[in-house]
Amino acid sequence: MASNIVSSFKAFTESFKVPDEKDARVEALKKYFARGGVVSAVKKSGSVWPNLIYPSPLRVKSQLKELQDLKDYFAKKRSEWDKRLKDAKSYPSRCTGSTLRKPSRIQIIEVILRRLNCRCTSSLT
């Protein structure tokens, strides 16, 4: 049984003589082995593809669910990061709007007079 455990696509093709095609199965196996996957298989008579013992269909479903959950999580995070980036890029234009107007001369003079008045009254006491 240990001889049927394979951890690389090259060893898999040598052990089971799988046709080298641009098939979806071949591409999936290449990705699976590239991510560190391990396969245990037994050669089936009358079929080109071997019968997989490990990973079981239940294990494959759980791995696909984990992968989909990660994709959903990072898609959500990506939209949050994009929103924050958009807000950061628009910050200068939002701050130069009506909230940060340049004060008029009269407002500047009023502020100066208020400060002078405060200094004068504090020096009298």
Element (H, E) at 2: none
Which pLDDT value is given to residue 121? Answer: 54
- Quote the longest CA-to-CA distance of the chain: 109
What is the pLDDT at residue 66? 95
Grouping H, G, I as helix, E, B as strand and the rest as coil, residue 103 is coil
pLDDT band at 100 (very low <50, low <70, confident <90, very high): low
How would residue 2 be classed by pLDDT, with cut points 50, 70 and 90?
very low
For residue 103, say if its preceding peptide bond is cis, omega within 30 degrees of 0.
no
Is the pLDDT higher at 124 or at 111?
A: 111
Q: What is the pLDDT of residues 13-55, one digit of tens each?
A: 888 888 777 888 888 888 889 988 899 988 888 788 888 888 8
* Statement: residue 88 has pLDDT above 90: no
Give every CB contact of residue 30 below 8 A, 6+ residues apart in sequence: 9
Q: What confidence category does residue 122 fall into, taking pLDDT thresholds of 50, 70 and 90?
A: low
Q: What is the arithmetic mean of pLDDT over 63-67?
A: 93
Average pLDDT over residues 75-90: 92
The span from the CA of 57 to the CA of 54, in Å, is 8
